[in-house]
Amino acid sequence: MNKKLIAIDVDRTLLKSDHTVSDRTRQLLSDLTDAGHIVVIATGRILSSARAVKEQLGLDISYVGCNGATIYDHIEKQVMADALDKDVVLKILDIFQKHDIYHHYYTEDVIYANRLAHTAKRFKVYEGTTTSVKHVKDIIIEEDLKTTLDDNIVYKFGIFEDDWLARRYESGHIEVDGN
């Protein structure tokens, strides 16, 4: 038998609209791993969220987070981490600030945003925890994100025009909790 590598995206692919994996999908992936194939979760999500999806499956599989910036094997050993260079991050932050663009960056389990705008609101937990954000340790709002870089490793940026996102939300193309 030829082993196959099966890489699966998370949102709107592996997960149902309620952010859970169906029993049928879980069984299929289990059968594939039992047959010797390699199943990998590959997502743009923050690393802790990718790990939570792996735990939901209950399988010893590898996972890729932050759009490929981090890779962990089936026994939770970090195989690769490709963080953004700090000097590059500082230059990017200068451009965002100059143009007053909403932005956030991801560490392994925290999101840092320059303001609590529409995009950050869908991650922020106000009362209790929602399914879509429960594996994000925190979201930190700081106008000048350069002040947060000393102890942080940046894996990914998110930049959005909040008016555009607000229009998409109002038209029903996206929901505020990330569904």
Confidence of residue 125 (pLDDT cuts 50, 70, 90): very low
Contact 53, 10 (CB under 8 A): yes
pLDDT at position 18 is 80
Q: Tell me which of 9, 31, 82, 94 is the catalytic residue.
A: 9
Query: How would residue 175 be classed by pLDDT, with cut points 50, 70 and 90?
Result: very low
Fold classification of 86-170 is 3.30.1240
Class of domain 5-81: alpha beta
pLDDT value at position 168? Answer: 58
Q: Is 11 a catalytic residue?
A: no
Give the span between the Cα atoms of 64 and 128, in whole angstroms: 28
Which is nearest to 93 in space by CA: 143, 163, 137?
A: 143
Instruction: Determine whether 153 is exposed, middle or buried from the number of CB atoms within 10 Å of its CB (0-12, 13-18, 19+).
Output: middle
Q: pLDDT at position 151, please? A: 85
Q: Is the pLDDT of residue 101 over 70?
A: yes
- Give SS3 for 31: helix
Question: What's the pTM value of the predicted model, to 2 decimals?
Answer: 0.75
Nearest to 129 by CA among 140, 139, 114: 139
**Average pLDDT score over the chain:** 82
Give the residue extent of every domain in the chain: 5-81, 86-170
Q: Each residue of 41-95: pLDDT tens digit?
A: 999 888 888 888 898 999 999 999 999 999 999 998 999 999 999 999 999 999 9
Residue 78: CB atoms within 10 A of its CB come to 11
Highest mean pLDDT among 32-46, 106-120, 126-140, 165-179: 32-46
User: For residue 174, what pLDDT is reported?
Assistant: 47
The alpha-carbon radius of gyration of the chain (Å, integer) is 18
- Write the secondary structure of 76-144 as one string of H (helix), E (strand) and C (coil): CCEEEECCCCHHHHHHHHHHHHHCCCEEEEECCCEEEECCCCHHHHCCCCCCCCCCCCCCCCEEEECCC
